[in-house]
A and B are shown apart, each in its own frame.
Chain A
Amino acid sequence: MESDAAVVKRVLNGEVEAYSILVERYFDHYVRFAVHLVGNREDAEEVVQDTFLRAYRALGRYEERERFGAWLLRILVNRARTVSAIGRRREKMFPDQVGEILPEVAEAHPEERAALREEMARALDQLGRDQREAFLLHYVEGLSYEEMSAVTGSGISALKMRVKRSCERLREILQGVNRV
């Protein structure tokens, strides 16, 4: 597979269509991340589109020593923060995976699946922006604390604290749901 850096060079060399290779590699994955970060699909797709456009315009400043995906993620996180800062509402949405998360509850009370799904979304909502961001980057995206620091601009100690507190808070919330 051609490396991201090689594709970037092709684009900088005038092969605009080569950029679609990077779009195919990262778009879907980052929409998933953005959905959980900003809370609704419409804003998420907009944020990711905007991220790719900004990345394209700034492609000359991309440095090979950084993983392209991480560079893109840093732009995405900043765009998502902007969307959050202008106060768009986080919709209460969550994939229909309550049965996977809480199988006993879902099976015993199928009529409560919608309510439980809302609880899952609320769990992420209750973390607050910084904790939600840190939790998603660390556990869902699998970034190390060093990478998270590069992406978010926050210190490693602060990030570890956010992840720890987000886990504690989510466990509290999920255990509460489990007792429904």
Chain B
Amino acid sequence: MSDRLPAPDPLAALVNALRAPVAVDPASKRRLMELVREAPPPVSMAGTPGRLTPSRSRALSAIRRMRGDAPRTASGSTLATAAGIALVMLVGMQDRIDTGTAQRRRAVVIGDSVASVASAIRDTLRIVQFMLTAPTASRVALAGDFNGWDPRDIAMTRDSQEGRWVVTLALAPGRHNYAYVVDDTQWVRDPLATPAEPNDLTPPRSVIIVNR
């Protein structure tokens, strides 16, 4: 929290006030969806319009499982193929993870995603594992620019008696800011990662660069 201005700073208080939710009439969203239904359907610019090929579908299902999302389809052949893809990914992960305890606490890019392994998605995603040691925490979540800084969206899993919390995501290449949210309230920077450019008014953040 050292990046923050002291509480009495009126500018910090102004920013907090500007972040307060604004009441929105639910009818606005209903009206919007009515307009969407009336609009001509969007056309995909990449190959067959919007159609998931079997390989793209398999890759996306595997990503969802990796993120803990429930798969929407689970045919026998799809599961068998996805399991094969995931195995390829996990072998790669094992080679990269065992690099010592210190590195296990920071976010690291640990390999190509199932999508790129399968050559199924045009823009390669990368598998990034985020780790934080917080033995006394009851809950830890990950928030970042990749999920709109939602502190409830990406729950981390406690994976050891030492209090290590882990989550694995597929992220697009580029620069991502992130922070951990401990017990729903405490925002902490990754102690071993590069600090994000301080801006005085936001919680401390870290940066990870995901290379192509």
Contacts and interface: CB of A to CB of B under 8 A. Distances in A.
**A and B from one complex:** yes
Contacts of B46: 60
Contacts of A57: 39-40, 42
A19 B33 contact: yes
A109 to B, nearest CB: 16
Interface in B104-141: 121-123, 125
B43 to A, nearest CB: 5
Contact of B45 (A6, A31, A61, A143): A61
Contacts of A11: 42, 50
A63 B123 contact: yes
A144 B177 CA distance: 8
Interface string A121-152: 00100000000000010111011111100000
Nearest to B25: A45
Contact of B14 (A25, A45, A174): A174
B64 interface: yes
B121 A64 contact: yes
Nearest to A58: B42
B83 interface: no
A97 B149 CA distance: 23
A27 to B, nearest CB: 5
A24 B29 contact: yes
Interface in B127-162: 145-146, 148-149, 153-154
A129 B35 CA distance: 30
B199 A138 contact: yes
Contacts of A97: 17, 20
Given A27-B28, A27-B32, A56-B36, A142 B64 contact: no
A95 B14 CA distance: 11
B13 interface: yes
Given A19-B33, A140-B15, A147 B145 contact: yes
Given A52-B32, A140-B15, A142-B177, A12 B10 contact: no
Interface in A36-62: 36, 41, 45, 48-49, 52-53, 56-61
Going nearest first, the 8 A-B pairs with the smallest beta carbon separation are: A12-B50, A59-B42, A97-B17, A174-B10, A32-B22, A60-B44, A65-B123, A101-B13
Interface of A: 1-3, 6, 9, 11-14, 16-17, 19-20, 23-29, 31-32, 35-36, 41, 45, 48-49, 52-53, 56-61, 63-67, 69-70, 95, 97, 100-102, 120, 123, 136, 138-140, 142-147, 167, 170-171, 174-175, 177-178
15 contacts: A16-B36, A16-B41, A24-B29, A31-B24, A32-B19, A45-B25, A45-B28, A53-B32, A60-B45, A100-B13, A136-B18, A138-B199, A142-B149, A170-B11, A175-B10
